[in-house]
């Protein structure tokens, strides 16, 4: 629990504080502004007795757009949220409930990477052209955002906020996740959140069974065969423990049979999503090479894709870290590196300012990748937004690369011809290190 002190400033006092903060004096003011509170007032929040803390600027959600319009006129920095964190005042409580790192964070980070990889693969499969670099697509997935929230131990209200903000980010035309189902991943990460001890409210009987199973697996660091017995209430005529010990061919055949049965019965509930994802993970013993089979879920059992990624990452022999040119390893590494919310942000801007700006204007602030921006939803929760690359731009890059190769080849031929000519000329042709003696021209 972090004791967060709050200081209210009117607009005039806020601008005075901002000018000093930009010069390096970003300390929390000692007192609030005089006079009665107004809806346009700004609240600065920072931990008590931390001299070097960088205060977070908070304002009512309804006033957020007005604040950025005000800052675009009076502040000298663009974008503003690249220098200062700005949050709705309604979410200050998430800063007070910061949780320390846990011993099961590594296993949880693998689950985030696995679910993001599964969702990214399915989203990319819908596109005519697969991305050359999978890592940015992982960062844009819904499970990436929700998983970061669970790692930060945010409560359900914060997770709901993150889900809504993520949906707003995906409204850009051509976004690969624009058509993604939201309910399946939201329910999945709500259950994972309850499994790591964050209150999630009434989640239902099936969710309670899954939550207890995940809690035991995360504590152990990997799925053990005896743990699968806890899932007996969810079985659809399948003994998961026995299936895990069967041959690979038998596991795959059993998965296909169960999926066909679920399709026939049009069963789309949580139980079917979890069982479908878990059985595909068992079929490959945690291998993400089975992602091609996850296309069976697309369009009718979307939550199973998320559950496959979560469950497959928890197998001891899972290749979640090495799959996709080790994109999972890089993602897990970044997930385990937490930012201090009371220090300057690393993202290009936050989601509220992103909505205030035109997309093309927002792209001008990109510092991490071309044609993409990293947007912070909450402290330690970031999502990447990419613009669709134009075919003309791709052709231009190809033409430039071809021109450079031709110039390199021409340069090689010129150097070779020069050396041959020097050989035919004979004699020493090395120039003197000193200029020949002679009379200097008088001035």
Residues in the chain, pLDDT under 70:
1, 98, 128-132, 200-202, 365-369, 388-401, 425-443
Number of domains in the chain: 2
Residue 427 located in a structural domain: no
Look at phi and psi of residue 53 and say left if phi exceeds 0, alpha if psi is from -120 to 50, else beta: beta
At 290, list the tokens.
């089975």
Q: Residue 75, exposed/middle/buried by CB under 10 A (0-12, 13-18, 19+)?
A: middle
* Pair (263, 200) in one structural domain: yes
* Pair (27, 41) in one structural domain: yes
Q: Which among 318, 300, 270, 320 has a CA at the least distance from the CA of 121?
A: 320
At 374, list the tokens.
């990293």
**Which of 266, 300, 335 is a domain's end point?**
335
* Pair (14, 72) in one structural domain: yes
Answer for the pair 372, 387: CB distance below 8 angstroms, yes or no.
Answer: yes
Element (H, E) at 88: strand 86-88
The single-letter DSSP state of residue 78 is S
Residue 420 located in a structural domain: no
Task: Reduce the DSSP state of residue 318 to 3 states and report it.
Answer: coil
Q: Which among 381, 412, 379, 422 has a CA at the least distance from the CA of 58?
A: 379
* Pair (48, 120) in one structural domain: no
* Pair (369, 319) in one structural domain: no
Q: Give the pLDDT of residue 443.
A: 47
> What CA–CA distance (Å, rounded) separates 147 from 173?
25
What sign results for the dihedral spanned by CA atoms 93, 97, 101, 105? Answer: negative
Residue 19 located in a structural domain: yes
* Pair (244, 196) in one structural domain: yes
* Pair (249, 306) in one structural domain: yes
Please name the residues in contact with 198: beta carbons below 8 A apart, sequence gap of 6 or more.
Answer: 150, 153, 154, 155, 156
**Which of 316, 335, 354 is a domain's end point?**
335
* Pair (29, 155) in one structural domain: no
Q: Give the pLDDT of residue 428.
A: 53
Look at phi and psi of residue 323 and say left if phi exceeds 0, alpha if psi is from -120 to 50, else beta: beta
Please name the residues in contact with 423: beta carbons below 8 A apart, sequence gap of 6 or more.
Answer: none
Please give the full DSSP string across 208-233, using - where no structure is assigned: HHHHHHHHHHHHHTS--GGGGGGGGG
Owner of token pair 């031709």:
406
* Pair (299, 354) in one structural domain: no
Q: Give the pLDDT of residue 433.
A: 46
> What CA–CA distance (Å, rounded) separates 234 from 381?
32
> What CA–CA distance (Å, rounded) separates 172 from 186?
21
Q: Which among 376, 313, 309 has a CA at the least distance from the CA of 152?
A: 376
Q: Residue 208, exposed/middle/buried by CB under 10 A (0-12, 13-18, 19+)?
A: middle
Residue 291 belongs to domain spanning = 105-335
* Pair (323, 347) in one structural domain: no
Strand bridging mode 349-350 / 372-378: parallel
* Pair (232, 363) in one structural domain: no
Task: Reduce the DSSP state of residue 4 to 3 states and report it.
Answer: strand
Supply the angle between the helices 183-195 and 105-125 in degrees, to the nearest 10: 170
The single-letter DSSP state of residue 44 is E
**Which of 335, 351, 375 is a domain's end point?**
335
Please name the residues in contact with 199: beta carbons below 8 A apart, sequence gap of 6 or more.
Answer: 155, 156
Residue 145 located in a structural domain: yes
Residue 378 located in a structural domain: yes
Residue 135 located in a structural domain: yes
Residue 305 located in a structural domain: yes
| pLDDT tens, position by position, 196-246 | 988 766 678 999 999 999 999 999 999 999 999 999 999 878 899 999 999
Residue 98 vs residues 58, 164, 335: alpha-carbon distances, Å: 17, 21, 16
| CA 127 from centroid of its chain's CA atoms | 20
Beta partners for 350? 376
pTM above 0.85, yes or no: no
* Pair (243, 289) in one structural domain: yes
> What CA–CA distance (Å, rounded) separates 176 from 389?
12
């Amino acid at each position: 629990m972090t004791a967060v002190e709050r200081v209210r400033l009117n607009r005039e006092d806020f601008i005075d504080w901002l000018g000093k903060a930009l010069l390096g004096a970003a300390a929390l003011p000692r007192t609030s502004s005089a006079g009665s509170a107004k809806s346009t007032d700004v609240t600065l929040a920072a931990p008590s007795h931390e001299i070097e803390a960088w205060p977070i600027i908070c304002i009512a959600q309804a006033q957020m757009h007005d604040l950025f319009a005000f800052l675009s006129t009076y502040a000298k920095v663009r974008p503003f949220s690249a220098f200062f964190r700005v949050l709705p005042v309604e979410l200050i409580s998430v800063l007070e409930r910061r949780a320390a790192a846990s011993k099961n964070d590594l296993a949880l980070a693998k689950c985030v990477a696995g679910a993001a990889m599964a969702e990214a693969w399915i989203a990319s499969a819908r596109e005519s052209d697969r991305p050359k670099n999978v890592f940015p697509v992982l960062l844009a997935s819904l499970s990436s955002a929700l998983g970061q929230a669970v790692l930060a131990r945010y409560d359900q209200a914060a997770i709901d906020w993150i889900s809504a903000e993520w949906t707003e980010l995906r409204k850009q035309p051509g976004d690969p996740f624009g058509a993604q189902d939201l309910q399946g991943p939201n329910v999945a990460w709500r259950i994972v959140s309850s499994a790591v001890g964050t209150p999630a409210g009434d989640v239902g009987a099936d969710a309670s069974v899954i939550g207890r199973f995940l809690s035991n697996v995360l504590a152990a660091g990997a799925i053990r065969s005896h743990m699968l017995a806890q899932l007996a209430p969810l079985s659809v005529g399948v003994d998961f423990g026995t299936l895990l010990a069967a041959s690979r061919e038998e596991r795959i055949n059993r998965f296909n049979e169960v999926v066909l049965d679920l399709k026939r019965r049009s069963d789309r509930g949580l139980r079917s999503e979890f069982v479908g994802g878990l059985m595909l993970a068992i079929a490959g013993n945690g291998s993400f090479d089975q992602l091609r089979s996850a296309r069976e879920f697309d369009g009718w059992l979307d939550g199973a894709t998320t559950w496959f990624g979560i469950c497959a990452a928890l197998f001891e022999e899972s290749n979640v870290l090495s799959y996709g040119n080790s994109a999972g390893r890089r993602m897990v590494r970044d997930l385990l590196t937490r930012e201090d919310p009371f220090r300057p942000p690393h993202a290009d801007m936050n989601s509220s300012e992103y909505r205030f700006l035109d997309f093309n204007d927002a792209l001008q602030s990109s510092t991490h990748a071309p044609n993409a921006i990293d947007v912070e939803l909450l402290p330690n929760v970031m999502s990447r937004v990419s613009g669709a690359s134009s075919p003309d731009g791709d052709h231009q890059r190809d033409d430039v690369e071809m021109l450079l190769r031709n110039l390199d080849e021409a340069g090689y031929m010129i150097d070779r011809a020069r050396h041959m000519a020097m050989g035919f000329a004979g004699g020493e042709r090395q120039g003197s290190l000193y200029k020949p003696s002679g009379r200097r021209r008088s001035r």
